[in-house]
């Protein structure tokens, strides 16, 4: 898994560590949850499966169908 460095303020890091202790989650689990929520907020898919599922929802099923006159 590729790694990235992130600079956090000391106060923010302490708050995250306290939350991790309360929730019994490690920093990585909290970071994964936070980034997943951020991507969801901006309607960005996580992974190919979600991207395909989301692209199907954008196009109406009968968008190109002609209406028949009765």
pLDDT tens digits in sequence order for the chain, 70 residues long:
788 898 999 999 999 999 999 999 999 999 999 999 999 899 888 888 888 887 877 666 666 666 666 5
Q: What is the pLDDT of residue 8?
A: 94
CB 8 within 8 A of CB 16: yes
Pseudo-torsion of CA 4, 10, 16, 22, nearest 10°?
A: 140
Q: Which pLDDT does position 3 carry in this prediction?
A: 85
């Amino acid at each position: 898994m590729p790694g990235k460095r992130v600079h956090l303020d000391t106060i923010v890091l302490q708050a995250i560590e306290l939350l991790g202790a309360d929730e019994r989650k490690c920093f990585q689990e909290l970071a994964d949850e936070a980034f997943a929520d951020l991507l969801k907020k901006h309607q960005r898919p996580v992974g190919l499966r979600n991207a395909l599922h989301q692209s199907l929802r954008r196009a109406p099923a009968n968008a190109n169908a002609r209406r028949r006159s009765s």
